[in-house]
Amino acid sequence: MQTPPAITDVLVNDELLGFHLEDGRFISLPVAFYPTLALATAEERGRFEINGSSVYWPELDADIGVEGLLAGAREHHHYARKAVERAVRLGRLPRDRLGKKSAATRLTGRGHAL
């Protein structure tokens, strides 16, 4: 199996998560695919570490790799649910977002409650 290319730079904002790769490609997905990032502040999203072919956000305990972005993978619903719980705890979302049609359900595109 071929090693994924290293990440040279990261773009993350309210709309997009993108990686510039050492081979010249730029890959991106909507940040909504990753509720942990979507529900974080701009400052939290801006504090990350590039580790070869993955990026780690220590404050958010989120790790996203090149292979996941290339596959168009969304954040696992377990972690999306934890992101919503964190946002509610921090007052960023109302408590009722923990119900059946939660923000994590909408953000991950899952048709069921998390």
- Report the residue count for the chain: 114
Arithmetic mean of pLDDT over the chain: 88
Q: What is the pLDDT of residue 96?
A: 86
Q: Please say whether the structural domain 7-108 has been given the CATH code 3.30.2020.40.
A: yes
**Domain definitions of the chain by residue range:** 7-108
Predicted confidence (pLDDT) per residue in 51-84, tens digit:
999 999 999 999 999 999 999 999 999 999 999 9
CA angle 53, 79, 18 (to 5 degrees): 35
- CB distance 19 to 26 below 8 Å: yes
pTM of the model: 0.82
